[in-house]
Amino acid sequence: MPKVSGYTPEFKDQAVRLVVAEQGPDESGHAACDRLAPRLHMNPSTLYGWVKKAVPGPVSGHAPGSVEELRAANAQLRKENRELARANEILQAAASFFGAELDRQSKRSPRS
CA–CA separation, 40 vs 11, rounded Å? 10
The answer to whether residues 44 and 70 belong to one domain is no
The answer to whether residues 69 and 99 belong to one domain is yes
Q: What is the DSSP letter of 3?
A: P
In terms of residue numbers, what domain contains 19?
Answer: 1-55
Please, is 33 exposed, middle or buried when counting C-beta atoms within 10 Å of its C-beta (0-12, 13-18, 19+)? buried
Confidence of residue 55 (pLDDT cuts 50, 70, 90): confident
pLDDT tens, position by position, 64-89: 667 888 888 899 999 999 999 999 99
CATH number at residue 26: 1.10.10.10
End position of a domain, from candidates 55, 81, 101 = 55
CA distances to 8, 22, 37, 107 from 61, rounded to whole Å, are: 28, 16, 20, 65
The answer to whether residues 112 and 67 belong to one domain is yes
Confidence of residue 1 (pLDDT cuts 50, 70, 90): very low
Are 89 and 82 in contact by the 8 Å Cβ rule? The answer is: no
